[in-house]
Structure 1
Amino acid sequence: PMLNMRVVVDGQLPPGATAKDLILAVIEQIGTGGGQGHVIEYQGEAIRALSMEGRMTVCNMSIEAGARAGLIAPDDVTIEYLRGRPHAPSGSAFEEEAAYWRTFHSDDDAVFDKEVHLDAATITPRVSWGTNPAQSVPLDATVPAPSSFLDTVERAAAERALAYMQLTPGTPLRDIPVDAVFIGSCTNGRIEDLREVAAVWEGRRIAPGVEVLVVPGSEAVRAQAVEEGLDEIFAAAGAALRYSGCSMCVALNDDRLRPGQRAASTNNRNFEGRQGRGVKTHLVSPAVAAATAITGRLTAPEDLED
């Protein structure tokens, strides 16, 4: 039988922090095995404030904490997201189903096998520095030293990760240059993600020498992006809107980097060789990925000059 875990994120996310930053912060706290054997239910004010697509990002990455599944109880956000969508009921049938969906929540006195609490106010744009999703820190921070980890297993993992990533402890994350930026995957290939990227790129150009791939999560997302004119903003910035697929997330076909190259990526995994043999992957949000493409180094949108 599955065990139950409750992750509560109280308070409000600061400006610039996204659902991707939230789930990276959760995974950093509980570790890649912290959810093993559990189904995680996410609760709290910060979770409720997320859009449906933001919630999808959070639940999508639950497996990166070892969980069997992640879920968020249906509410008004869920209902309004489904209203009018293909294959959804319509009219009175929809209202009947919506009333039923609202019953899918944990009891107030439910007991969980494990509980984790985070303060949303402490979550800022994050970037992974290592080779698993738990090895992330705020973009404002520096590359951690292995000696900062009290657990011997974590310390050894940090040493191996830094060797693979070719990073020096104490280096500011914002000083790390990248060769490529990948925007897409099942984690961050939705229309809201592409809108975030377009908002950063509008009126700007991608840095010379930075390879950029923008791959929507589905052809429906691609069609909507084209309808909204996002592809024109991407083209003006120097990037093309590709057709949907897994692409560079798993180094599919020719969508891979050369050995030793470094990428800022919106996908969910940064394992050794994930995006090509010897490729160094930094997990980031779409907004940070977009800003990084403009400067050629790890960057938050607020760092960009108007």
Structure 2
Amino acid sequence: MGRTLFDKIWDAHRVAETTGGAALIAIDRIFLHERTGAAALKSMAAAGRPVQDPARVFAVMDHIVDTRLGRGDQTLMPGGQAFITETREAALAAGITLFDVTDRDQGIVHVISPEQGIVLPGVTLVAPDSHTCTQGAFGALAWGIGSSEAEHAMATGVLRLARPGTMRVTFTGALPSGVTAKDMALALIARHGAGGGAGHVVEFAGEAVRCLDMEGRMTLCNMATEFAAMTGIIVPDAATFAYLAGRPYAPASFDAPYWSSLVSDPDARFDREIEIDASGLAPMVSWGTSPEQAIAIDARIPQGPPRVHEYIGLNAGQPIAGTPIDAAFIGSCTNSRLSDLRRAAALLKGKHIAPSIKKALVVPGSMAVKRAAEAEGLDQVFTAAGFEWRNSGCSLCFYAGGEGFEPGSRTISSTNRNFEGRQGPGIRTHIASPEVVAASALAGVIADPRKVLAS
């Protein structure tokens, strides 16, 4: 029987079997951030355990830092400065690579790791962040861990892991105009539930996936954790190799035979198979407090749990389009890359957001993305349209007591989670693609970007 892509990476990294069916898996890359990095590194130092191979460990300031221009160590989050300074001290003492607050390569961990060529096909990569699955877009086995697991991986180079199941999600056909990888992910989760991928590594396959650029593939894999999967993964191909070529931490010459072998064999069997016709998809938007509570933008809200309707302030039977919004946000590790900003700017150019929008923000995923966008004049398009142009970071995607929106605001957002309070006290978040965010900001209500594109 043939092997899946996951099987091949697992077998190449399996060091030993342990009791209970788990295995010790070799870890190639470890990425820390300042929200948990200092705790892991200080705990190791206190126990007298050095980082086994500092060259394989990286840290970044992205979760607690403010996105305001001119930022430094001081943050709006109470006590946030300590997270930053302690992580800096611990990272320097451990000898690991640090992308600091003012580093020109600073950014959201899942954005800068690919930018720097730290993630590569066939590697195992872990970070104390559930959206580490984003990096499976490069044919890597990448997943989120806890701080204690990060310590173990840094001290020993391995992690104990129960073998997950395998699932293949095949998107057949071609995506219609105005439909994106974000819509593919939301459609999958809406149809099969927020727990549909639990216990599995999900391989995304099919024509629609192969036609995505690398940034679209990252968006798709990013949402695998919202499907409760251990991670998402996509077979690497010529587009993968071209993206990585010349990146600072990528090899000067690729291991072409090995990388080319990282495919699921034709006779490989998956524990579960799902097929979705991508040609029938439409722009999606969430209506409730879970990513599975999402519908096509031209659909009506279904009946859900009473608490969800109470929190979100919408009733069953209402059309989601036309719902008034107070704020708009483009950013996060899901949709903050250059192609995301280009697509949103294309809808906004020469237009202005509705007067009812109290706050509209763009947070590039990295400082490199910010520079590239500014070189193309995208920042001027956004600011002329009424958006604020910020520095990179995570703080507006999740609420940690610092930056945020006015309590109770209804926000259209390119983020990945719409839980109660995810973006602040009482915030009612509707997750969607950057195009939906841009179109909605212009209209002042949740709006279909296809109508803007057609105008």
Q: Which residue of 2 aligns with 1:303?
A: 451
- Find the residue that maps to 2:273 and give its secondary structure: strand
Q: Cα offset for 1:300? A: 1.9
Any idea what the Cα deviations from partners look like across 1:131-188, whole Å, max 9, x if unmatched?
0101100000011124xxxxxxxxxxx3321111010111111120100011000000
Aligned AA (1:121): S
Q: 1:32 aligns with which of 185, 191, 194?
A: 194
CA 252–190 in structure 1, closer or farther in 2 if over 3 Å, else same: farther
- Find the residue that maps to 1:46 and give its secondary structure: helix
Aligned AA (2:268): A
Q: Which residue of 1 aligns with 2:318?
A: 171
Q: 1:199 aligns with which of 330, 334, 346?
A: 346
Q: Which residue of 1 aligns with 2:300?
A: 142
Aligned AA (2:378): L
Aligned AA (1:125): P
Q: Which residue of 2 aligns with 1:87?
A: 249
Is 1:108 matched with 2:108?
A: no
Give yes or no for contact 1:188–1:266 (8 Å, CA) kept in 2.
yes
Is 1:229 matched with 2:374?
A: no
Q: Cα offset for 1:258? A: 2.7
CA distance in 2, matches of 1:293, 1:175: 12
Q: Which residue of 2 aligns with 1:52?
A: 214
Give yes or no for contact 1:53–1:192 (8 Å, CA) kept in 2.
yes
- Find the residue that maps to 1:22 and give its secondary structure: helix
CA distance in 2, matches of 1:184, 1:142: 27
Q: 1:214 aligns with which of 349, 362, 368?
A: 362
Any idea what the Cα deviations from partners look like across 1:97-134, whole Å, max 9, x if unmatched?
23421211111111111111100011110000010101
Give yes or no for contact 1:62–1:70 (8 Å, CA) kept in 2.
yes
CA distance in 1, matches of 2:438, 2:403: 18
Aligned AA (2:199): G
Q: 1:259 aligns with which of 383, 388, 407?
A: 407
For these two proteins, the number of residue pairs brought into alignment is 291
Q: Cα offset for 1:252? A: 4.3
CA distance in 1, matches of 2:388, 2:426: 25
CA distance in 1, matches of 2:388, 2:316: 35
Structure 1 moving runs of 4+ over 3 Å:
none
Q: Cα offset for 1:81? A: 1.2
Is 1:98 matched with 2:256?
A: yes
Q: 1:64 aligns with which of 221, 226, 231?
A: 226
Aligned AA (2:413): S
Q: Cα offset for 1:83? A: 1.9
Aligned AA (1:129): W
CA distance in 2, matches of 1:222, 1:252: 23
| Percent identity (aligned) | 50
- Find the residue that maps to 2:183 and give its secondary structure: helix
Q: Which residue of 2 aligns with 1:153?
A: none
CA distance in 1, matches of 2:365, 2:169: 27
- Find the residue that maps to 1:107 and give its secondary structure: coil
Give yes or no for contact 1:32–1:65 (8 Å, CA) kept in 2.
yes
Give yes or no for contact 1:206–1:294 (8 Å, CA) kept in 2.
yes
Q: Which residue of 1 aligns with 2:419?
A: 271
Q: Which residue of 1 aligns with 2:330?
A: 183
Aligned AA (1:9): F
CA distance in 2, matches of 1:98, 1:267: 35
Q: Cα offset for 1:214? A: 0.4
Alignment of 1:242-253 (within 5 A): 242-253=390-401
Q: 2:280 aligns with which of 122, 129, 139?
A: 122
CA distance in 2, matches of 1:192, 1:125: 17
CA distance in 2, matches of 1:184, 1:238: 16
Q: Cα offset for 1:232? A: 0.9
CA distance in 2, matches of 1:229, 1:52: 23
Give yes or no for contact 1:127–1:283 (8 Å, CA) kept in 2.
yes
Aligned AA (2:407): P
Q: Cα offset for 1:296? A: 0.7
Q: Cα offset for 1:88? A: 2.3
- Find the residue that maps to 1:264 and give its secondary structure: strand
CA distance in 1, matches of 2:271, 2:391: 42
CA RMSD of aligned residues (A): 1.3
Aligned AA (2:387): A
- Find the residue that maps to 2:397 and give its secondary structure: helix
Q: 1:287 aligns with which of 435, 445, 450?
A: 435
CA distance in 1, matches of 2:385, 2:402: 23
Point out where structure 1 has 5 or more consecutive residues left out of the alignment.
147-157
Give yes or no for contact 1:132–1:271 (8 Å, CA) kept in 2.
yes
TM-score (norm 1): 0.92
